[in-house]
Amino acid sequence: MRRIRVGFIGAGGIAGLHASKLSTIPEVEVVSVADVVYDKARSFSEKYGGKPYNDWREMYKSEKLDAVWICIPPYAHTDEVEEAAERGIHVFIEKPIALTLEKAEDMRRAVEESGVISWVGYHFRQAYSIRRCKSILSESGPVGVVLGRWWGGIVGDPKHWWWRRELSGGQIVEQATHIFDLARFLVGDVSRVYTELTKSMLTDIPDLTIEDAAATVLRFKNGAIGVITNTCGANPQAHKVEMDIVARRAHIEIRGTKKATIYRIDGVEDITSLNDPYLDEDLKFIKAIKGEGESEVPISEGVKTLKLTLAALEAYEKTLPIKID
């Protein structure tokens, strides 16, 4: 059996997580890793194998890769997707795929024109509990209202890219994007959005230049309405990543990627996910490369969710609802 030759761009937190999942898949060989901090590439390679580089262009030139896992911060995307596509390298890319719609569209075009397979790391879509909710929603009639929230804490220390809007895009674009994507996945595309952002709570942390709270009102194309709130100022004992959806014949409560409850007129169903969504997205992407399935989250989905979160920011800046085509 010829193994799928994988390279990594970025050797940080999420790269390590994917590498640990890939190490359990026999058809995969991690052959290289590139990080601008060479020591990070080296320690990653000591742990998961592969040759370390500090420049992904060198890695592309020197290695014959079948697939690349792109795990770099939002600000760091340049043309690593376009070059991979040109070389016929399949692309797994972490969310958010870029900080601007122009960049994201360039990536999508390159992938679609080349025919390489792409997958965006919206792992919530793989949780068994969430997949069961999607299937129930498909037979529960129209949706009325959606309530989503990402109430968490600040990522990293004051030097971390997450703290700065120009590097991370802020909590909506970088993190609550999972909830916006989940809303699209379960309810459908959004036609109009309005957002209020604030930094009214963490006033004692001046280096944090992103919002500490936000509330977004969404109108879906199918007529449903929703509200998504996010904060990075929640008490650590009360972090919440959740979504409630009221449909004609079912009320759904999603609690993270592990639990969901469905209320129907004839009873209540509790669902617990036993699967590992990160492993499943990696496995399915490998299967798609082998021609044994299709990408469930192609790069066009990454573009659409980015468009929605950027529209939310634009709405705040203009204090106007923003229409989305």
Ligand X SMILES: NC(=O)c1ccc[n+]([C@@H]2O[C@H](COP(=O)([O-])OP(=O)(O)OC[C@H]3O[C@@H](n4cnc5c(N)ncnc54)[C@H](O)[C@@H]3O)[C@@H](O)[C@H]2O)c1
Nearest to ligand X of 161, 196 (CB atom): 161
12 belongs to the binding site for ligand X (CB under 6 A): yes
Measured CA to CA, the distance from residue 165 to residue 162 in angstroms comes to: 8
Any contact of residue 173 with ligand X (CB under 6 A)? no
Contacts of 122 (CB under 8 A, 6+ apart): 95, 178, 181, 182, 185, 297, 301, 302, 305
| Residue 33 interacts with ligand X (CB under 6 A): yes or no | no
User: Which position among 19, 45, 56, 288 is part of the footprint of ligand X (CB under 6 A)?
Assistant: 56
Q: Measured from the CB atom, is 185 or 220 closer to ligand X? A: 185
Q: Which of 4, 5, 6, 9 binds ligand X (CB under 6 A)?
A: 9
How remote is the C-alpha of 106 from its chain's centroid?
18
> What tokens appear for 133 in the block?
């909710």
State which of residues 30, 59, 65, 72 lies at the interface with ligand X (CB under 6 A): 72
Residues 211-240 close enough to bind ligand X by CB under 6 A: none
Residue 76 binds ligand X (CB under 6 A) = yes
Pull the structure tokens for residue 82: 């376009």
By C-alpha distance, which of 43, 22, 34, 94 is closest to 61? 34
Determine contact, residues 104/74, Cβ cutoff 8 Å. Answer: no
Options 19-27, 73-81, 183-191, 211-219: segment touching ligand X (CB under 6 A): 73-81
User: Is 216 strand, coil or helix?
Assistant: strand
By CB under 6 A, is residue 34 in contact with ligand X? yes
* 256 belongs to the binding site for ligand X (CB under 6 A): no
Tokens (6 digits) for 202: 């963490």
Question: Which is nearer to ligand X, 73 or 226 (by Cβ)?
Answer: 73
Distance CA 118, CA 125 (A): 15
Closest separation in Å from C-beta 244 to ligand X? 21
Q: How far is CA 175 from the centre of its chain?
A: 8
Stretch that binds ligand X, among 69-77, 98-106, 131-139, 301-309 (CB under 6 A): 69-77
Helix 13-22 to helix 38-48 angle (10° resolution) is 20
| Count, residues near ligand X per rule CB under 6 A | 23
Q: Does 121 bind ligand X (CB under 6 A)?
A: yes
What's the min distance (Å) between Cβ of 40 and ligand X? 4
By CB under 6 A, residue 153 contacts ligand X = no
Exposure of 122 in the CB half-sphere (CA atoms within 13 A): 32
CB of 14 to ligand X, least distance (A): 4
Contact 124, 183 (CB under 8 A): no
Residue from 63, 82, 94, 282 that binds ligand X (CB under 6 A)?
94
Between CA 49 and CA 32 the distance in angstroms is 7
Enumerate binding residues for ligand X (CB under 6 A).
9-15, 34-37, 40, 56, 71-74, 76, 94-95, 121, 123, 174
